[in-house]
Amino acid sequence: MTTIDFEERDLEASVPDLGAGGAWTRVRLRWRRDPLTGASARILTGVKLQPSTRPDLTELTAKPAFCPFDSEHLETATVPFPAELTAEGRIRVGRAVVVPNIMAYATHSAVGIYDPGRHFLDLDEMTPALIGDALTAMVRHARAVRRLDPTAQWSSINANYLPPAGASLVHPHLQSAHDSHGLTGQRLLVQRSRAWKERHGSYWAALVDQEAGGPRWVGNIGRVAWLTPFAPTGFAEVWGVVSEAADVTDLTDEDCRALGQGLSQVLTAYLAWNLASFNFGLIGGGPHAHEDGHQVVLKVLSRSNPEPVYRSDATYFERIWGEAMIDLSPEEVADSVRARF
């Protein structure tokens, strides 16, 4: 199996140290390139950009007079799926409920609510069962979409948690997108996976094999290998790579439970770091996923804390130029998360 080349460069800069009266001081940062996509990241040293304290979320997360995802409003505020998609109307697994999305993000999209009975779930309340059941319900919806519309071959399941992550509602939920085009990053991963497979074999199998037991390795749960990426795209980023699953519709109930368990443990680590907001994305490989050598990948990363005036973690580096600026190395993230597996 071909060895993956993890390209890294040490950079040095001179900056004035205000704590030393403005004396110029040499500091070190690291530049890294993702071996599959070519995207680069810069890992800083010194002062951390992550928060040292966690804000009081009481006011933000207080139960309002009306929330469409709360159990007392769900049946009247949401609409059932058409009978040709599913006879269930609303797809339910455990406490999780999946309903149509009123926003057209894709040809087919849905919203999953982890627990309509709880208006807010903090990170340590996002249990393996709640996440696993929600993912299972979303996968069932994905399969129903694929049966109804075989052209919707690009599938993803995603989450915004709290306003800094892009959530318009505080009630924790996840969303899906299914159509014939896919997402930019999704298509890029699949295209690069295909090119890598043509030269060397499966990139994802090689990545898991090479990283296993190393400084970025977190652990295995079922068919899911957990690790931190060499060149992250966001803060405290962790990946889950599902072996023998190329598309979202390939995920079994056991895979969903494994993803739920791992993701729950990552979120518990975020809470220990005084973090409060996150995004995750789970992508399939499109119409030729199996032939292209893709494997289902879940990526989760933290976002800025929801304070009245806060520093966004998306600067010109990320939003305009696609270059991540990271203050905690993947190896440090893996070391902390690994202890929870």
Give the pair of three-digit tokens for residue 58.
């009481």
Average pLDDT over residues 123-130: 98
Q: Which domain holds residue 89?
A: 58-338
Q: Is residue 107 part of a domain?
A: yes
Q: At residue 51, does pLDDT exceed 90?
A: no
At 282-317, the pLDDT tens digits run 999 999 999 988 999 999 999 999 988 888 888 899
- For residue 181, the tally of other CB atoms under 10 A from its CB is 14
Would you say the pTM of this structure is higher than 0.85?
A: yes
E-strand ranges in the chain read 7-17, 23-33, 40-43, 91-93, 96-100, 110-113, 154-161, 173-179, 217-221, 224-227, 235-242, 277-283, 297-303, 324-326
pLDDT band at 48 (very low <50, low <70, confident <90, very high): confident
pLDDT band at 217 (very low <50, low <70, confident <90, very high): very high
**What is the total count of domains within the chain?**
1
What is the predicted pLDDT for the residue at 226? Answer: 98
pLDDT band at 198 (very low <50, low <70, confident <90, very high): very high
**CATH number of the domain encompassing residue 175:** 3.30.428.10
pLDDT band at 93 (very low <50, low <70, confident <90, very high): very high
Average pLDDT over residues 218-235: 98
Q: At residue 72, does pLDDT exceed 90?
A: yes
Give the pair of three-digit tokens for residue 36.
């599959």
The mean pLDDT of the chain is: 95
At 251-282, the pLDDT tens digits run 999 999 999 999 999 999 999 999 999 999 99
Q: Which residues pair with 58 in a beta bridge?
A: none
Q: What percent of the chain has pLDDT over 70?
A: 99
What is the predicted pLDDT for the residue at 68? Answer: 98
Q: Is residue 6 part of a domain?
A: no
Highest-scoring range by mean pLDDT, 13-27, 43-57, 135-149, 297-311: 135-149
- The torsion defined by the Cα of 176, 38, 286 and 205, in degrees rounded to 10, comes to -100
Q: Is residue 248 part of a domain?
A: yes
At 18-46, the pLDDT tens digits run 889 999 999 999 999 999 999 999 999 87
What is the predicted pLDDT for the residue at 47? Answer: 67
Q: Is residue 281 part of a domain?
A: yes
Q: At residue 81, does pLDDT exceed 90?
A: yes
Q: Is residue 20 part of a domain?
A: no
117: left (phi over 0), alpha (psi -120 to 50) or beta: alpha
At 98-121, the pLDDT tens digits run 999 999 999 999 999 999 999 999
Q: Is residue 35 part of a domain?
A: no
Q: Is residue 13 part of a domain?
A: no
Q: Is residue 126 part of a domain?
A: yes
Q: 127 by DSSP, 3-state: which?
A: coil
Q: What percent of the chain has pLDDT over 90?
A: 92
**8 A C-beta contact, residue 96 and residue 134:** yes
What is the predicted pLDDT for the residue at 216? Answer: 98
